[in-house]
Amino acid sequence: MSRTRMGLAVTVLAVLMLAMPLAAHASAAAKNPKATTTTVDILNPTSLSGKALKPGSYRITADDAKVTVEQDGKMVAEAAVQWKDEPSKAKYSTIVTDERGIREIHFGGKTKYVEIAD
């Protein structure tokens, strides 16, 4: 194989390797187009449905019935939810906690939030 073809093959492989994670992410969003997703930083240890969540950055996805919390692409917690109305659009995505753990998740730019159902 000539150097030109080898260089082209390497370039094509590199582009495919970069495109695969993007396609997987788009595919996950396409599974449930009604799902609301945000990223939040948890600053203090907390929990969701008995699962401990350490400080860090988490991806939160909520659909009609449940919320899923992921870190580094792995699901770390899940809970049943009820949707509630906000008086106005939330400026930021935030979580509300108490001694039992996460109680509410507000999504930036949305007029609805989820309340964790126990």
The pLDDT of residue 9 is above 80: no
What does the pLDDT look like over 44-71, one tens digit per residue? Answer: 999 999 999 999 999 999 999 999 999 9
The pLDDT of residue 15 is above 80: no
What does the pLDDT look like over 71-103, one tens digit per residue? Answer: 999 999 999 999 999 999 999 999 999 999 999
Instruction: Select from 92, 96, 102, 97 the least CA-distant residue to 110.
Output: 92
Q: Which residue has the tokens 């907390």?
A: 46
The pLDDT of residue 27 is above 50: no
* pTM of the predicted model as reported, rounded to 2 decimal places: 0.71
Distances in whole angstroms, Cα of residue 15 to Cα of each of 2, 4, 18, 23: 20, 17, 5, 12
Count CB atoms within 10 A of the CB of residue 75: 12
